[in-house]
């Protein structure tokens, strides 16, 4: 069980890091939607850092939760058009 949690935590952390690299803000600079996208991106990046901290502290449950929440911010933003993201692969649930 512990090995499964560690593997899943590592996988989700890598997934969030890759998703952050792949996502770019879609709306034009200076618009309210661009501000919203920047806020969502910042939340996702903050959750990545939180997850790394929890993992370093030996708390894989909160690390996994942080990585999951961070990816949810990005994925939701991608679905509503705040981010340009790859449409193929496994990083996002957009079609």
Where do the domains of the chain lie, and which CATH numbers do they carry?
Answer: 2-84 (1.20.1270.90)
Can you name the residues that pair with 24 across neighbouring β-strands? 84
Q: Give dist(CA 37, CA 78) in Å, integer.
A: 9
Per-residue model confidence as pLDDT tens for the chain (95 residues) = 567 999 999 999 999 999 999 999 999 999 999 999 999 999 999 999 999 999 999 999 999 999 999 999 999 999 999 999 998 888 998 87
* Residues in CB range of 66: below 8 A, 6 or more apart: 47, 48, 50, 51, 54
- Calpha distance 63→56 (Å, rounded): 9
Distance separating alpha carbons of residues 29 and 49, to the nearest angstrom: 26
Q: pTM of the prediction?
A: 0.91
């Amino acid at each position: 069980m512990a090995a499964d949690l560690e593997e899943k935590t590592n996988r989700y952390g890598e997934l969030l890091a890759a998703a952050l690299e792949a996502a770019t803000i879609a709306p034009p600079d200076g618009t309210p939607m661009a501000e919203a996208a920047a806020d969502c991106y910042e939340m996702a990046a903050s959750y990545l850092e939180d997850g790394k901290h929890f993992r370093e502290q030996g708390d894989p449950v909160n690390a996994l939760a942080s990585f999951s929440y961070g990816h949810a911010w990005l994925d939701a933003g991608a679905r509503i058009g705040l981010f340009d993201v790859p449409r193929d692969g496994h990083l996002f649930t957009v079609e």
